[in-house]
Structure 1
Amino acid sequence: MTTSPTAPAYIHVLIVDDHQMVIEGVKTLLQGEADIQVAAQASNGPEALRLLPLYPEISVAILDLNMPQMSGVELSRAIHATYPQIRILALSMFHDYSSVTEVLEAGGSGYLLKNTNKAELCAAIRQVAAGHTFFSQEVGTTLLANLVIPANFDRTRDAHPAELTGREREVLQLIAREYSNSHIAKALFISERTVETHRKNILTKTNSKSVVGLIQYALRYKLIL
């Protein structure tokens, strides 16, 4: 028997941006959504961290990357370390490879550009709240365009994705959702040692050197939702 996270019936959101106009814009886009509510807002990272203990219902944090006092990446790391249940959705004007990978490595689950529309924003919130990842089309293109092709890459052999077992695919899905080994073990009712073995096998089969590389590979071959 396996379990997987599902979106809560009601998604409570924290918006963090140093421009009030952006906060109001996001709130306007979310108006009328029966399952999404803006629970709190902050203009910087320290303020956001002070608010989080007061709003335990928050499940998604929408963060601007370029903020004074504490960058969005630094705030992502802080939230991910203390509140791992909160899914982080980055909101930025830029989608360069460095920015995107920094967000992923800091525990981010999604990345949107500030020119996003209502439909994409709502879809992103629901996706990350349900434990999935979400990247706007431009961001996904950036990740794929910067795929590092291993020196031993065999174009004939690698024309198709690696043959992962059913269990390895389950572990891959949870790795992409930023689950720790202990959380994966509990979700799949297996030992942490077994999870670590699966993780090593997945990295080997996909020729990936890191979680970021693995997510790139999984996106390329549509192995994650």
Structure 2
Amino acid sequence: MKSAIKVLLAEDHTIVRNGIIALLDDEPNIKIVADAKNGHEVLDYLNSGIQTDVVLTDINMPDMNGIELISNLRTNFPDVKICVLTMLDDEKHVNQSLDAGASGYLLKNVNIAEIIFAIKQITLGYKYICTGISLKLLSQINLRINTGSAHLKSDVEVSKREIEILGLIAQGYTNSEIAEKLFTSKRTIEGNRQNLLEKTGTKNTAALVNFVVRNRIID
């Protein structure tokens, strides 16, 4: 039998922390091994010998915040995956978290199913950015394009149509549904999607959005 994914939770608000624990306790494939109020407590647990696969952490915490924790973990516990769970939905904190070494970024308004999915994805070695963040960032990119203020900052060329397709993918639409919305064929959408993955060297949609954000392809 496959062992459960071990998770160490860092969240300074007791009610929120207990709520997350209660929700994740119902998931048989995930085990909360410890919970902490700040980054220092996370490091104390790990230094004491507690083993974890994933650290699920807030950003705004006292003494040692999430960004500082992520950097410390990347240096001292490089095998531990990190997923941010926060209320902060601005591009600056998303970039800071990913640049520091986080593999996932979730907003606290996501449902428990998405938290579980993200934990499983990053454990497998993928990146995951929640739909809410993806849509907001893509909307900002679209706005820049539509107002004529967009310019490429990378050798990767992403067209307005490709950004439009990426936005629909992020909303969960299938290739067939996207084709119907854009009045084109499913095969065309499949081709566009594959081209985006090949252009950016990414493996899936979450990694593709992550690439766009981190490399600031559109400014």
TM-score band by shorter chain is 0.5 to 0.7
Question: Alignment identity in percent?
Answer: 32
Measured at CA, do residues 163 and 112 of structure 1 come closer, stay the same or move farther in structure 2, by a change above 3 Å? closer
Q: How does 1:1-225 map to 2 (within 5 A)?
A: 9-147=3-141, 149-150=151-152, 155=159, 160=192, 161=195, 164=198, 169=201, 172-173=202-203, 212-213=214-215
Measured at CA, do residues 149 and 19 of structure 1 come closer, stay the same or move farther in structure 2, by a change above 3 Å? same
RMSD over equivalenced CA pairs, Å: 3.2
Number of aligned pairs? 173
Cα distance, 1:162 vs. partner?
5.8
Cα distance, 1:163 vs. partner?
8.1
Q: Give TM-score, length-normalised by structure 2.
A: 0.67
Q: Provide the C-alpha distance between the structure 1 equivalents of 2:119 and 2:52, rounded to a whole number of angstroms.
A: 12
After superposition, give the CA deviation of every residue in 1:181-211 in whole Å (9 maximum; x if it has no partner).
Answer: xxxxxxxxxxxxxxxxxxxxxxxxxxx8x99
Q: Give TM-score, length-normalised by structure 1.
A: 0.66
Is there any run of 5+ residues in structure 2 with no aligned partner, and where?
Answer: 142-149, 164-191
Cα distance, 1:155 vs. partner?
4.1
After superposition, give the CA deviation of every residue in 1:134-190 in whole Å (9 maximum; x if it has no partner).
Answer: 11111112333455741685849978536849xx94xx45xx98xxxxxxxxxxxxx
Q: Provide the C-alpha distance between the structure 1 equivalents of 2:86 and 2:160, rounded to a whole number of angstroms.
A: 38
Runs (4+) off by over 6 Å: 156-159
Q: Provide the C-alpha distance between the structure 2 equivalents of 1:23 and 1:55, rounded to a whole number of angstroms.
A: 22
Measured at CA, do residues 145 and 42 of structure 1 come closer, stay the same or move farther in structure 2, by a change above 3 Å? same
Q: Provide the C-alpha distance between the structure 2 equivalents of 1:57 and 1:21, rounded to a whole number of angstroms.
A: 25
Cα distance, 1:48 vs. partner?
1.0
Q: Provide the C-alpha distance between the structure 1 equivalents of 2:160 and 2:106, rounded to a whole number of angstroms.
A: 34
Measured at CA, do residues 92 and 154 of structure 1 come closer, stay the same or move farther in structure 2, by a change above 3 Å? closer
Tell me which amino acid in the other structure corresponds to 2:215: G
Q: Provide the C-alpha distance between the structure 1 equivalents of 2:80 and 2:139, rounded to a whole number of angstroms.
A: 29
